[in-house]
A and B are shown apart, each in its own frame.
Chain A
Amino acid sequence: MEILNLFRVGTILALVYLVLPLYVTRFGGKYKTGWLNLVGPVFLRTALFVQISVIALGQWRLCLPGTMGALYFFWILANTWHSYHSRWMYQSIEWKYRWSRILKRLEPKTGKGPVRVTSISPQSAIAYVLISFIFLQTAGFPVANLRFLTPESYGRALSIGTLLQGSTWTYEGSIALLIPAAFWTGLDAATVVRLSGPVILLALLFACWHCVKSFGGSWRSAFFAISLFWIASRWFQLNPGEENTARDLAALFLLLGISHLRTSYGYAAISLLLVVMVNPQLDAAYLCPLLAVFAGLALEKLLVSLPTFVSRPATAGLLLAAGLPAVIGAGPRLASEPLQYESAARAVYEIAAQFPRNQWTVVSPGNELAQIYGRGWHVQLSEFTSRHKVEQVSQPDFQFPYPTGHVFVFVEKKPLPVKAMAIYSNGDEAAYNYATQSGRIALEYQAAELMAAYVGAHRNVSVFGEDDDLIVYHVQPTPVKVTK
């Protein structure tokens, strides 16, 4: 299922940023050059348009599927307008001509047209294989796990959620480009954030290749650049493609900017503007793919300068030396502390799939909110424990004051190991409860005690899911029936 979702995210992102704009730009045959030369400019133009649109609409709380769809539609029309010299949109004779072409296609066919096959050279195929392996390595974690690796990802998912719901939105540049995927894949914000990482990495790898080509490098330089980038990023624990969308996107635009420096200052400026917009906090890690590109180019230069009898085995050896670690994914990898039990994330997705939208409430620590936002309601576990007392919930006539038909209480049997992320100061209950180990243990203990008391006195409660780490209680108050 998650593989299908990855395909959905990838397809929509490719359609929105590449396929449709590229098709309409070439529509009418103004550009006689190959379509590959248009990929960079078209992608940059569309990305800038979406980025600015989302930011502007988000501030007005109007970043909704209809508004974005309409704007994108006009953008596509604008591309067509730009590309076709005879201004077909307002010339009725053009419309009639196109209509007659459609009618002609309806006539019975007499024979089959020629079949075009796009060929890929064997050398390029090696680079494609490398990229595929890297993509598969990166896609493995988000496909197999529903939780996130970094706290920023939870924040990013929540940010997309608030945008989709038309709520007040705080500026977050790195999510703007994911909004079309969130609208048109039909997936929730958290899934889009989780699965967009590998897709963005894929784009970054192709941007490396593009950059190498723009500096006159061949497939060998591209191979070296991609391998070196991958090995270096693992070595320095940068983990590209694993949810750090902001940094990956910034690196992608930086590469495109550098590669356009020789052909168009306009597109280079657009790229740099996008770098600043997606991640205003400049990070040295942006430079990793760029340095890899130059290293790849330098390696190729070195190999070319060697005599043939040396350069051939040297090339083979270097390709193997660089490619093998990248393919097998060698090198240290960031061993991140879990911020949420995987079973908790899975329970949220099961609840969302089984129960009608907005008719359930989850009581849990804060991280589930990113996966719930827009689909159900969420109550902080700390609020739950502070509002209710054991004596109160053990009364048979007690009902939890939540107006939904289903309430799910997440209680960690083994409180999640927490790496202290905040220093407890007077009055900062949230920091104490969630960011310190003792606070978390105390919170989960209180929740377990409350639920034990409630289960003892009520029949409308069952266990929705349970494993060694977590138990999810399902409380069913009387459902509210609204009639027409």
Chain B
Amino acid sequence: MSASLPACLEQAVDRKPRHDAYDLAIHMELEGVTDQVAQSVYGYAGTLEMAQAYFQQIAMPRPKVAAPGISQTLLEYFKGLAFALPVLISAVVMIRFSLSLWGGPISIEDAAAVAIGTLSSFLVTGGLVQVMAWRVLFLLTTGDPGTAASTCGLWCRRGVLALFGSGCAGWLVNGFFGWMPDSLALLAVGFHLALGMLWLASGALYVLEGMLWISAATAVGLAVAGSLHYGLGAGLYLSQFCGLGAAIVISASASYIIFRKKAGNKFPKGERIPRPRLVHTAAPYFLYGLLYYCFLFADRWIAWTGKTASETLPIFFRGDYEAGLDVALIAFVFGAGWVHASTQSFFATMQRALSEYLLNQAAEFNRAMHQFYLRRLLLFLPIAVLTCMLVYWTGIRLDVLSTMVMRKVAATALVGFLFLVIGLWNASLFFALSLPFHTLRAMALGLFTDLVVSYICSRTGHYSDSVYGFAVGACCFALWSSWMCSKELQKADHLQFAASV
């Protein structure tokens, strides 16, 4: 600190550096330098003028926060990709051994039942996993792993209850409408329960960043299913259910072990939040999870129910449609890695910008954040287009996309996934900046568009035209959320302050 400073200023800045001249003026007044004192003793017009005169002298250079390097970004990118590791393991085992934890070489009717069970498991658990992740992450970051563990258990139990409730409801609804025979309905409910529990257990592990555990659980599940089916000659479904059971047990045990490591043996009762407050605060997270999976599966559902008048079931699994979507999903996985890395990078940049700009430079701070957002978006687009083209080309070269329907679905879904990645990035920013309703609005718009376009296209044309709805819906989601995000980032300083309160 400069030796030429008056004693009052020495006292005003001795604890920590002041943010700006106004801040300094307030502290000077606290030290007794009123306007009168500033005039009579120091010869300034007032305290503020004196603070402005001395501020440049006492302003300390702020500690610089380094920009994330390439290696850090890459690491975050691969962390973002890690969720696809179990999928990769499943795909390899499926190609090599024709075995998976659900589906496989089964009749088309059974495939429909398994597909319905899979979809419904995602729909029921999607919202609950989001809420669980939100609460548990909050408690972990506030240093209360014991309550976090109990809360995680509480939401898992609620999830299991929801699965059983929805399974029974689904069974009754099927009985009422007679969509499929009882045996198939039972199969669908079985996979709904088993997969739903697996998603809940995996959700807990994701929150705890135990990606490798999820992969291990998947691998063990596949090994159990494989040894029962091929080794002991057990039925495919029995083997798969045993495999799923093993995967659930491993995931749940791993979550328990990690929580125990964090919290010791202290597991107090879960959070006791009054019900109205819980519902009010958790609703956006729950709705986001629900809407996201609804959006992801809406076009499939419409394609499966379109033109089924002469089929054996009113809900009919379309293998070629699914194959096209699965190929396009590869591009989405790469995009999801980018979402994770970009979100991390956004907040690192925000920290850096906070250290660079003073309080009276809010406009510059906002501009910097806005420009970062636009730069990221512009950087992503050409890379994503190239990735999509590469995936499509590889699919054709490897003859995975063997029919015209598959090619059409894959090409359109690639466009859709590209937009979906952009939308998801915006969604992650909105949630981090405490603006969940922007995400919900954009997602609801996308879902509505998806449903309308998919329905009209598939009912007036071929069932596979349902994929256009997905592309248009994703486009609406991305454009609306990007527009809102761009608008909101022009007041990034306020959002940063509001989110940190």
Contact = CB atoms under 8 A, between A and B. Distances in A.
A103 B281 CA distance: 11
Nearest to B112: A484
Interface stretch (A213-221, A223-231, A353-361, A444-452): A353-361
Interface of B: 103-109, 111, 176-178, 181, 274-276, 279-280, 302, 305, 309-314, 317, 319, 452, 455, 459-460
Given A106-B275, A107-B276, A358-B310, A484 B111 contact: yes
A59 to B, nearest CB: 14
A358 B108 contact: no
Interface stretch (A62-70, A380-388, A456-464): A62-70
A361 B57 CA distance: 95
A437 interface: no
Interface string A440-484: 000000000000000000000000000000000000000001111
Contact of B107 (A107, A165, A358, A481): A481
A104 interface: yes
Contacts of A356: 109, 181, 312-313
Quick one: which of A166, A357, A481 has the most chain B CB within 10 A? A357
Interface of A: 8, 62, 64, 66-67, 70, 99, 103-104, 106-107, 165-167, 186, 356-359, 374, 481-484
B319 A484 contact: yes
Given A106-B276, A358-B310, A482 B178 contact: no
A167 B310 CA distance: 11
Given A66-B455, A165-B309, A186 B176 contact: yes
B108 A482 contact: yes
Nearest to A92: B437
A356 B314 CA distance: 11
Nearest to B274: A107
Contact of A107 (B103, B275, B455): B275
B115 to A, nearest CB: 10
| Chain A, interface SS category | loop
Contacts of B181: 356
A374 B179 CA distance: 12
Chain A to chain B: the 10 pairs with minimum beta-carbon distance, closest first: A186-B177, A103-B276, A165-B309, A484-B111, A106-B275, A106-B276, A482-B108, A356-B312, A186-B176, A358-B312
Contact of A483 (B107, B305, B310): B107
Given A64-B459, A484-B107, A357 B319 contact: no
Contacts of B107: 481-484
Contacts of B178: 186
A8 B455 CA distance: 27
Contact of A106 (B279, B309, B459): B279
B427 to A, nearest CB: 20
A385 B54 CA distance: 110
20 contacts: A62-B459, A62-B460, A64-B459, A66-B302, A67-B459, A99-B280, A106-B279, A166-B459, A167-B309, A186-B178, A356-B181, A357-B312, A358-B310, A358-B312, A374-B309, A482-B107, A482-B108, A483-B106, A484-B105, A484-B319
A480 to B, nearest CB: 10
B103 A357 contact: no
Contacts of A374: 309
A64 B279 CA distance: 36
A483 B455 contact: no
Contacts of A103: 276, 279-280
Contacts of A104: 276
A484 B108 contact: yes
B279 A166 contact: no
Contacts of B452: 70
B325 to A, nearest CB: 15
A106 B177 CA distance: 33
Given A62-B460, A67-B459, A186-B177, 18 more contacts: A62-B459, A66-B455, A67-B455, A106-B276, A107-B275, A165-B309, A167-B309, A186-B176, A186-B178, A356-B181, A357-B313, A358-B310, A358-B312, A359-B312, A482-B108, A484-B108, A484-B317, A484-B319
Contacts of A62: 459-460
